[in-house]
Amino acid sequence: MKYSKITIKTNTATSELVAYFLQKNSVDGVCIYDKNDLNNPTWDYVDENAFENFEEEVVVSGFVSQENLEDALILLQQDLSCLTDAGSLALSVETVDDASWKDEWKKYFKPASFGKIVVCPEWESYQAKDDEKVLLLDSGIAFGTGRHETTALCMKFMQQVDLLGKSCCDVGCGSGILGLTALLLGANDCTLVDVDEQAVSVCNHNAKINNLENKCNVVLGDLCDKVNSQFDVVSANLTADILLILAKQIHQIAKKGTTLILSGILEERLQEVKVAFEGIGFGRVDFEQMGCWCALRYQL
């Protein structure tokens, strides 16, 4: 089957938002190529030649079926027109065969430990230690495997919260890694929400392979339109721009005592996010940072 590959050039600060626009406009397999990601202080070694594979601007790409290309481009251009200080936003389209990219990412996805949780690809095997819980995951090409700093920060916070018997909501769930982690850590139920149809499909699959489908409510759509409940714990690993857009909606699904975990925030955008959420009643409990990425833990 032939697909159209859409590529947009931007900068680090806006790359996650551009990726979000690609995902919500019916584009699959969204990837971000940013050479700044190679400057990770937790890595022991990076081959200098690896930098040669990256352009000066951040490249965000995704795939869409050719019959949906025209509609996707119209919606995408509308979203991109609202951005400022986002790099060139140069957009290009090429035709590709899905066999050339569909499963390439899998060879880089190996079991990874996050405290009590080990995220393991469903096609790999892992022998858990006594104090570990294994989360089987098929992230799909477009969604996180847990290795990004933003997800690791969320996983750390979630293990500091008493989740036993709690109701949870994962906003912008992607592969479902955070919501499913909450269930493995003792949560009673979890609602997982995403605007991307592929995310919902991947999340349902991951719930099933972990025997957690009976505790999950996976929702396709916008948070305020689809979710009316209030939860004990809410997680949102998104970008600063999206968190600012969703702040009031997130407040609506919280109640007195709700724990809120926010991540995906670049250091230079941290103050904006703090002002927005603290301004509507959330009290800050904790803060963590990895590299240029920040996470916040709040309580209402």
Question: Where is the domain boundary, 45, 70, 101?
Answer: 101
**154 and 81 in a common domain:** no
pTM score over 0.85: no
Question: Could you tell me the CATH number of the domain that includes residue 261?
Answer: 3.40.50.150
Give the structural domain span for 193.
149-299
pLDDT single digits (tens) 132-176: 888 888 765 545 555 567 888 998 999 999 999 999 999 998 889
CA atoms of 116 and 21, how far apart (whole Å): 34
Question: Could you tell me the CATH number of the domain that includes residue 53?
Answer: 3.30.70.260
**271 and 154 in a common domain:** yes
| Structural domain contains residue 136 | no
**197 and 288 in a common domain:** yes
| Structural domain contains residue 84 | yes
| Structural domain contains residue 10 | yes
Reference 146, options 110, 170, 172; nearest CA is 110
pLDDT single digits (tens) 251-290: 999 999 999 999 989 888 999 999 999 999 999 889 999 8
Q: What pLDDT sits at residue 44?
A: 38
Whether pLDDT at 16 is above 70: yes
Question: Where is the domain boundary, 86, 101, 116?
Answer: 101
The 10 Å Cβ neighbour count of residue 226 is 13
CA atoms of 188 and 216, how far apart (whole Å): 9
Q: What total number of domains does the chain contain?
A: 2
Residues for the chain: how many in total?
300
CA dihedral 8, 14, 16, 22 (to 10 degrees): -40
**39 and 169 in a common domain:** no
